[in-house]
A and B are shown apart, each in its own frame.
Chain A
Amino acid sequence: SQQGEEDPQALSIQEGENATMNCSYKTSINNLQWYRQNSGRGLVHLILIRSNEREKHSGRLRVTLDTSKKSSSLLITASRAADTASYFCATDARSGNTGKLIFGQGTTLQVKP
């Protein structure tokens, strides 16, 4: 399977700062989703942005999507120590209706109190 790229792979910031993570993918998509994963735990769905949307907000999260560049970014504002986790983007390929999700490599975020 083709996996997207995420950068940075690791990010360490102070509480209160903003964190930006980027994701690139390879195929045409129906939508792109961001997930959070705490160490050794399951995935928590954060936000979904459709291919015809350019920006979406949810609380302290802001997601952008640029389909011409096949890239997305996740911004977490006013970060908290509890935001420490790994963040993954996942794309739902447009071809076929398989429902398969292809995950990016992830960004590990550490928020220092």
Chain B
Amino acid sequence: GAVVSQHPSRVICKSGTSVKIECRSLDFQATTMFWYRQFPKQSLMLMATSNEGSKATYEQGVEKDKFLINHASLTLSTLTVTSAHPEDSSFYICSARRTSGITDTQYFGPGTRLTVL
């Protein structure tokens, strides 16, 4: 199956710093990627839809100035958590959408564990 990678897998940062997380589709091109956040013992919450070559679409309640998304190529989307605070500590998961004919499948990355001290 298709592979999606995330980097880094784990990051610890100080409060007030910015952290960038990369999501790559390794063997297919993805015009659309998605970013999710998952708090401990909770489900995945969609944060935003990342569109190649255009602005991301954010879900209600997600601050676009805090969670900057850049989808500069067909295989890479980045999520930057700006001025991170302890409440931003979470598991961030991306997915890449692969459309082929009538098939429309999302492939998930392994996730990035962010801890803000």
B59–A42 touching, CB < 8 Å: no
Identify which of B13-21, B39-47, B64-72, B75-83 touches chain A.
B39-47
| Stretch from A52-60, A61-69, A70-78, A99-107 at the B interface | A99-107
Chain B residues in 8 Å Cβ range of A88: 43-44
Interface size on B, residues (CB 8 A): 25
Minimal Cβ-Cβ distance residue in A for B107: A45
Give Cα A28–Cα B88 distance, bound, in whole angstroms: 32
User: What are the residues of chain A within 8 A of B41 when measuring CB–CB?
Assistant: 108
Give the interface SS of chain B, mostly helix, strand, loop or mixed: strand
Distance in Å: Cβ of B49 to nearest Cβ of chain A? 7
Cβ–Cβ contact B34 & A101, under 8 A:
yes
Docked complex: A9-48 residues within 8 A CB-CB of B: 35, 40-43, 45
How close is B55's CB to chain A, nearest CB, in angstroms? 15
Query: A98 interface residue, CB < 8 Å from B?
Result: yes
Q: Which residues of B contact A104 (CB under 8 A)?
A: 43
B45 touches A100 (CB 8 A): no
Chain A residue at minimal CB-CB distance from B41: A108
Contact check, B45 vs A42: say whether CB atoms are below 8 A apart. Answer: no
Assuming A104-B43, A106-B42, what are 8 further A-B pairs, CB within 8 angstroms? A1-B59, A41-B111, A42-B109, A42-B111, A43-B108, A45-B1, A99-B97, A99-B106
